[in-house]
Amino acid sequence: MIRLQDEIKGGKLQLLLDHNSIQNRIRGLAKEIIHFYEWERNCQLVLIAVMDGAGMFLYDLIKLLPFKIKLYCIKINTYKNQSKIKNSIVEINELTDIENNNILIIDTVLDSGETLNSVIKSVETMKPKTLKTAILLCKNRKREFDIKPDFCGFNIADKWIIGYGMDIDGFYRNLKDIYEVK
């Protein structure tokens, strides 16, 4: 078994959130989401998950939601070899069932807000009934876009993090805990 401490280039890991804390908070988020949508009898919900990072969060959350759910997974490349690539428009025209439906965008981290802003702007053009966002980790930092998630799991410092879906060059998404790379 590879030791993570030895594997991470130029950094040391510090546990930020353990698996039990993450699962407890996801249960809390599910309750908040259920409470919000309980005004609509027989609620149908269309989830749009920003992949690959949102995978673990999405699958743990979706199991707790008692609604009729349609799921779309979209992939947006915002990082490549640690350098940011600008995304001003997200092409998600292939999505159906957006107009006049309740939409919940799922993502793991709210950082600059660029990705989430792009997805929101694209979905808004499709005229949803409601449009909400659920983010597991909201970094405390100045954002390029005025974005505030509707459902936020944890507020964290603006740190480099891995695990529970977040990666370094595609690796370590499978870690059940979330670590800060120092």
Q: What is the pLDDT of residue 89?
A: 43
Whether 120 is covered by a domain: the verdict is yes
Closest to 63 in 3D by CA, of 87, 38, 84, 34: 34
The domain total for the chain is 1
- Asked if residue 103 belongs to a domain, the reply is yes
CATH number at residue 145: 3.40.50.2020
Residue 3 located in a structural domain:
no
**Active-site residue among 18, 52, 60, 111?**
111
For the record, the structure tokens of 179 come out as 């670590």
Does 5 reside within a domain?
no
Domain that holds residue 114: 12-78+87-181
Residue 2 lies in a domain: no
- Average pLDDT for the chain: 84
- Evaluate whether residue 176 is within a structural domain: yes
CA separation for the pair 147, 168 (Å, rounded): 25
62 band by pLDDT with thresholds 50, 70 and 90:
very high
H/E element holding 59? helix 55-62
CB 81 within 8 A of CB 169: yes
Is residue 177 among the annotated active site residues? Answer: no
**By the 8 A CB rule, do 78 and 84 touch?**
yes
Q: Is the pLDDT of residue 163 over 70?
A: yes
